[in-house]
Structure 1
């Protein structure tokens, strides 16, 4: 395989883990809220109506109010700027927001409203905790562009185009015969580039947490690591004992299958007992500007935080596409990698719609946008994403040429990019797992 393709096993599993952990705390499922984003028309042609798009987000969910809103906020910022500049061929993009509450029922309600009532041309930057209506979106042949693969929907259904792509057949069954595949490029990176040899995996004694930890362990062992497993009680976690053992075991890396609050407490404990590591590795969902606040009581561990993903570091303002994103979102309280990926998803839709606009007033259709998406292999959103593929391979690949974006937190500088993401690439094996 010569494709620069990342298999997002870790991020998908981690996001599902969040629900399991929060539900175990007894969180109440809130009711769905529906929003309509009305904005004044931009100057331009007046002989055509606005182009409707929909954004489904689990904004109010058992996980918390801000866990999934990043892609939505990034996409909205793109469309605001686009409309201020005249829209698409003079037509304003009309954004319809829908909060599905993190439930399957709410997700179906959102699809009813956006697909059937509002007649949106496409869904953009979907971030749904339970994408129960994915098959309905597919049957309606509504392109879903740049959604986050929290579950297996983007590796299951046609007309759904996840932000990281998919090589699966997408014929109604997840992946290949119900199995998805994850690469080991993150573990290879720290071994090759930084000489790491021992890695610890910290989890709760809770089924979803333990399952995700086992997936990480498999990848580490496949790369030849000595693996230290640490499990804490979910109800009464003793992070200080874990931190002391990490110090004694001499772990180079720490990976985790615990929530954000648990991570902060683990870091505090590591600082308290003097456990130092080469890297405390997190994923794209936790790649945010809130590090100084979340880890305020763990300065040493905080400055050992590393993040990996498949999109360009949102703090890399030396890149023109990132700088445009940051300038357009400067009024946001915090920034995150998911915001940047939502922005990229909206840009992807815009490029698709512009390819249709030449057909005339009615040229921006679901079919035209879908056709563009289906042939958009190698898309990068102006350099914000690693090249995205939708190949529909009949058999699962055994290995992949996988690239990754890497950043390290540094107080006073934020997330500092580590190397060129288009050149930080490895030929790695792919490991099967069930979603």
Structure 2
């Protein structure tokens, strides 16, 4: 189960406006048994440990939209190999670009699992994870993937970067419903006294559905909510900005893409709109803000981002410093890169948990499914996988918050380990 409305708070808001993820058909119950035979024999001879990374590197939403987790994971494995690998065995990374299509995703799954015989998938970032049921059927652990769509709350052996409490028996969430918390809205209400929030969306089904979810969460926290909808083909952001100013909103949330966000910010600057926060999601928590919002300096400096991972610019934290040192050759930095790095660390810790049997799919899967919290040396808010028969009504959730400031970049707002809230869990259908 998402800690909050995960599928929305990560990439859905900007990337899934016109697309949906197929979850496949229900598998027989025998496919969900743990401890089954594995096709990856135990080896302790120094041969490489092979892992796969599926990324929609080329896709309808742009060439660099999904590559952050891949780049972070690869940087971790490069450094790991330079230090001797896992018990003397290097990690061999097999990359596969699924092109952002279901057909391409199934092709990648087949290649990596059946042909390359990878022991695990790591940091999957797929626009259409059509091959998820096949991964589950093969009992291949998929570790630290980005939950774009419902796959990580549907199938066993899939372990999204944010955890899950859902049964994961082939049906999404609980009877088709997932649950998300209201901690983001609680944060701005408690810490900044926000009372009026706007939600901007397109007149398109997925965008409108996400906007409705945000609106419900805001109302549950006692906000006055202003809804703004624009035409997808010809959005009139100037009219939206004028109304935001007239309504005196404190916060602006959105269910629009990155390009639309930049245009919205430009319109807000032109109209003289001043808000406490223009709240964006983890997928847009990047170092490219100055370029992306070049023509909207006021709105740019009101950008806030929230996540369940530690700010990638928080170099006062040892684990973040190591990540930044290993990725200093990259042209840009992002929160998704850090989460990909954490996913690779997660696999490494799982692999190191099975020295007696050798590293197998079953052993790695057992580590992931052991029901204990994981933090990747403090890079992640505690993540856990359980299979609860009933969804929780409330949940305590910790939040990472940062604000963009020109000249300083993303500045952490408080400490992730103590910015925590007990919030209601609201149902939604992905």
Normalising by structure 1, we get a TM-score of 0.91
Q: Give distance in 2, aligned partners of 1:169 and 1:111.
A: 23
Q: Give distance in 1, aligned partners of 2:100 and 2:62.
A: 10
Match of 1:389 among 384, 388, 396: 384
Poorly superposed stretches of 4+, deviation over 3 Å: 3-7, 19-23
Q: Give distance in 2, aligned partners of 1:236 and 1:108.
A: 35
Shift of 1:273: 1.1
Match of 2:52 among 51, 54, 79: 54
Shift of 1:11: 2.6
Uncovered stretches (5+) of structure 1, i.e. residues with no partner: 24-44
**Residues 1:242 and 2:237 aligned together:** no
Aligned to 1:372: 367
Q: Give distance in 1, aligned partners of 2:16 and 2:194.
A: 31
Match of 1:210 among 201, 208, 211: 208
Shift of 1:18: 1.9
Match of 2:12 among 7, 10, 15: 15
Aligned 8 A contact 1:75 1:124 in 2: yes
Match of 1:144 among 142, 149, 172: 142
Shift of 1:4: 11
Shift of 1:48: 2.4
Match of 1:99 among 94, 97, 100: 97
Q: Give distance in 1, aligned partners of 2:44 and 2:138.
A: 29
Aligned to 1:359: 356
Please show how residues 27-426 of structure 1 align to structure 2 within 5 Å.
47-356=45-354, 358-359=355-356, 363-375=358-370, 377-426=372-421
SS of the residue aligned with 2:60? Answer: coil
> Residues 9 and 182 from structure 1, CA distance in 2 versus in 1: closer, same or farther, beyond 3 angstroms?
farther
> Residues 332 and 22 from structure 1, CA distance in 2 versus in 1: closer, same or farther, beyond 3 angstroms?
farther
**Superposed CA offset, 1:225-274 (max 9, x none):** 00011111111111111111111100000000111111111111111111
Aligned 8 A contact 1:21 1:259 in 2: no
Shift of 1:6: 4.3
Q: Give distance in 2, aligned partners of 1:157 and 1:144.
A: 10
SS of the residue aligned with 2:17? Answer: helix
Higher mean displacement: 320-329 or 231-240: 231-240
Shift of 1:352: 0.7
> Residues 246 and 16 from structure 1, CA distance in 2 versus in 1: closer, same or farther, beyond 3 angstroms?
closer
Aligned to 1:31: none
Aligned 8 A contact 1:56 1:126 in 2: yes
Q: Give distance in 2, aligned partners of 1:20 and 1:432.
A: 20
Q: Give distance in 1, aligned partners of 2:415 and 2:335.
A: 17
Q: Give distance in 1, aligned partners of 2:14 and 2:341.
A: 25
Aligned 8 A contact 1:22 1:63 in 2: no
Aligned 8 A contact 2:2 2:178 in 1: no
Q: Give distance in 2, aligned partners of 1:20 and 1:406.
A: 25
Q: Give distance in 2, aligned partners of 1:163 and 1:18.
A: 18
Aligned 8 A contact 1:107 1:131 in 2: yes
Shift of 1:376: 5.3
Aligned 8 A contact 2:3 2:180 in 1: no
SS of the residue aligned with 1:20? Answer: coil
Aligned 8 A contact 2:7 2:147 in 1: no
SS of the residue aligned with 2:225? Answer: strand
**Superposed CA offset, 1:270-298 (max 9, x none):** 11111100000001010000001111111
Shift of 1:127: 0.5
SS of the residue aligned with 2:378? Answer: coil
Shift of 1:331: 0.7
Shift of 1:22: 8.1
**Superposed CA offset, 1:95-125 (max 9, x none):** 0000011111111111111000111000000
Q: Give distance in 2, aligned partners of 1:249 and 1:69.
A: 38
CA RMSD of aligned residues (A): 1.7
Aligned to 1:42: none
> Residues 116 and 381 from structure 1, CA distance in 2 versus in 1: closer, same or farther, beyond 3 angstroms?
same
Uncovered stretches (5+) of structure 2, i.e. residues with no partner: 21-42
Aligned 8 A contact 1:11 1:150 in 2: no
Higher mean displacement: 409-418 or 375-384: 375-384
Aligned 8 A contact 1:5 1:387 in 2: no
Q: Give distance in 2, aligned partners of 1:223 and 1:4.
A: 18
Aligned 8 A contact 2:7 2:148 in 1: no
